[in-house]
Chains A and B, each alone.
Chain A
Amino acid sequence: MKYVFDLETSARALRLNRFLHSLTVASKRKLFLERPEEAMQGLSETEKDMVRHLDWKALQDYGASFFCLEKLARTKGVSNPEMVAAFRGEGLEEFLKTRRVPGAR
């Protein structure tokens, strides 16, 4: 099975997921939106770069939990269909064409 969030993935990406999870706290979101570099201090350069560019596919492949990525997406005003489209290597409009009710989002 591919893309199973197992204990190896969880251990590998714990620091990144902890940062993403911290965005459930309003003060952490505010800091990240106003001074992102300060908010990301604990991350490696690779991790920071993926977050800076909202590179959803790279973040996923690195081991970010989808449910932790949702916290970053909400903070940055990105919808789940946009993230799902990125994982598929598509744009949002292209992805919505494959859906039964594109307006239901």
Chain B
Amino acid sequence: MAKIIGGIGTSHVPTIGIAFDKGRQNDPDWKPLFRGYEPVAKWLAERKPDVLFFCFNDHATTFFFDHYPTFALGVSEEYRIADEGLGPRPIPSLKGHAPLARHIARSLVDDEFDLTIFQDLPLDHGLHSPLTMMWPTKPDWPAKVVPLVVNVLQHPLPTPRRCFKLGQFLRKAIESYPEDLKVAIVGTGGLSHQMIGERAGFNNEKWDLEFLELIDRDPERLARMPLEDYMRLGGNEGAEVIMWLIMRGALAPGARKIHQSYYLPMTTAMAVALFE
């Protein structure tokens, strides 16, 4: 049977991918960020999950507001790298685990999560800006992904509670897959940032550190918080951390955070945390 071996929470700021593509590993401005991901990359290299299940959002790249899904699950064998205005990043196409993804789709719909299903669409930095910090790209990606795209752009957004519940049923879906697979769950987004309005540039380190504590010790409390509180505390765009709740909901209740890194250089607080 498939098994969930751990979880990762990570920011997906586009500049993380750009810093990687430009080889900024030893640039003093970026070094702390790269250092923070090293234990996560090491854990992945040692534990060798067969699949990373990625909870992230598209940034009006592949999905547009003429047809905007709340939860959309990818069920393809392959995903191209999306063009976000500068041409696609120079990294390999992502390989999808289609049989697992189809099984998850059937299981979640059966449990009344009425997902949108997509295939053969390119994926944007929401998934691969953190991925290149954690997985080697050469000669090719070491394993496969299953992408879950969440609406955190156009309100109404799904509630934090709904995200947490989805994670709990995702666990049931994955653990009922008959093949022996090791799966790690990745929840992306945040931490605090606001890109728009007079409050553009807003950050809240105190809340970020509290969030990193609660996602470990008391995710139920985070699930009970209304979305408005996330927006007030973490910024309008920072509310996207509700996607970490899907990851946390999918982990065993006794899972614990074994690594954390936090770096706030510019407009968005960049964090990564590892759970086992």
- Contacts from A to B (Cβ < 8 Å): 1-7, 10, 14, 17-18, 21, 23-26, 29, 60, 65-68, 70-75, 80-81, 83-84, 87-89, 95, 98-105
Contact = CB atoms under 8 A, between A and B. Distances in A.
B65 A67 contact: no
A71 B154 contact: no
Given A6-B156, A29-B85, A84-B195, 15 more contacts: A2-B199, A4-B231, A4-B236, A5-B155, A17-B60, A17-B65, A21-B64, A65-B60, A66-B237, A70-B85, A80-B15, A83-B195, A87-B196, A99-B266, A104-B19
A96 B177 CA distance: 50
Contacts of A7: 154-156
A67 B59 contact: yes
B153 interface: yes
A70 B83 CA distance: 12
A95 to B, nearest CB: 7
Contacts, number: 112
A69 to B, nearest CB: 9
B30 interface: yes
14 contacts: A1-B228, A2-B198, A6-B154, A17-B64, A21-B64, A24-B82, A24-B85, A65-B154, A66-B196, A68-B60, A70-B59, A72-B85, A73-B85, A80-B14
A43 B50 CA distance: 47
B66 interface: yes
A53 to B, nearest CB: 19
Contact of A99 (B61, B199, B228, B267): B267
A5 B68 CA distance: 13
Contacts of A10: 65, 154
Looking at chain B, what size class is its interface with the partner chain?
35 or more
A81 B195 contact: no
Contacts of B200: 84, 87-88
A81 B261 CA distance: 23
Contact of B201 (A6, A21, A73, A95): A95
Contacts of A72: 85
B152 to A, nearest CB: 10
A65 B199 CA distance: 16
Nearest to A101: B265
Contacts of B85: 23-24, 29, 70-75
